[in-house]
């Protein structure tokens, strides 16, 4: 298995909803990442987990809450989002256990729309 | 202030010809660089990397050149194929941490 799987592929949520994005990989990668990508913009790093511990939080608002239950799973919990949070949310993983980002594998993303 | 720039938002090339995508960076501490390809509705796909100890890295039809003094790198695709049509992102980092992505260049390879 050489893929990063993200579910759901599409999500529409209201501003008062609570939802979660899921990411899974079985490549033995010990670093996992959440990126946010707005239309026609490059991906922006949100969080980095290394050995299931949060190592980088790029000043992301608290309405985004990451969780890494084990080495294969990464969740992003969403609560009280704003319409401007609508974007493609990408998960990635890499072999490098220090989370330095060598050899990324990206998932295909979750297209989130906040209404 | 963009630390990684891709000044051509789009590029069209005839099939079989060479595609050259350019990337400039401002942070002299960047020492590891990646190129990604992204199709619509998909996540980016890693293409090729280069570290600052090299000035060239080749993988099949893809070659990346790094000019450290000019803070410039380029991706050459030879020969270009219609399936190469996608958005190409350049990404740079210091010691592979906290990659900064460029804005992307949309490549169209015309049959």
Q: Do B43 and A102 touch (CB under 8 A)?
A: no
**CB contact B23 to A (< 8 Å):** no
* Model confidence pLDDT, tens digit, residues A73-109: 999 999 999 999 999 999 988 877 665 555 678 888 9
- Contact list in A for residue B42 (CB cut-off 8 A) is 108-109
Q: Are B62 and B76 in contact (CB under 8 A)?
A: yes
Pick the closest to residue A26 from A93, A89, A77, A110 (CA basis): A93
Residues 52-91 of B with CB under 8 A from A: 89, 91
**CB contact B95 to A (< 8 Å):** yes
CA distance A49 to B57: 29
* Model confidence pLDDT, tens digit, residues B56-96: 999 999 999 999 999 999 999 999 999 999 999 999 988 76
DSSP A55-70: EEE-S--TTEEEEEEE
Q: Are B76 and B18 in contact (CB under 8 A)?
A: yes
How large is the average pLDDT for residues A39-68? Answer: 87
CA distance B67 to B56: 9
> In the predicted model, is pLDDT for residue B27 greater than 80?
yes
């Amino acid at each position: 298995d050489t893929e990063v799987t993200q579910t759901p592929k599409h999500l529409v949520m209201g501003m008062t909803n609570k939802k979660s994005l899921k990411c899974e990989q079985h490549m033995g990668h010990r670093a996992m990442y959440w990126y946010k990508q707005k239309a026609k913009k490059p991906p922006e790093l949100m969080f980095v987990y290394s050995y299931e511990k949060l190592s980088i939080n790029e000043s992301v608002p608290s309405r985004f809450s990451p969780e890494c239950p084990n080495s294969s799973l990464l969740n992003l919990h969403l609560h009280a989002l704003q319409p401007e949070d609508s974007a493609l949310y990408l998960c990635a993983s890499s072999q490098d256990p220090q989370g330095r980002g060598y050899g990324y594998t990206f998932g295909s993303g979750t297209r989130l729309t906040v209404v | 202030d963009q630390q990684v720039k891709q000044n051509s938002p789009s590029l069209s090339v005839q099939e079989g010809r060479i595609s050259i995508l350019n990337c400039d960076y401002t942070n002299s501490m960047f020492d590891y660089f990646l190129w990604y390809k992204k199709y619509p509705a998909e996540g980016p796909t890693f293409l090729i990397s280069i570290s600052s100890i090299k000035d060239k890295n080749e993988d099949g039809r893809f070659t990346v050149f790094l000019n450290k003094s000019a803070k410039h790198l380029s991706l050459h695709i030879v020969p270009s194929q219609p399936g190469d049509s996608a958005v190409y992102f350049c990404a740079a980092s210091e010691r592979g941490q906290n990659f900064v992505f460029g804005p992307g260049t949309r490549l169209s390879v015309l049959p």
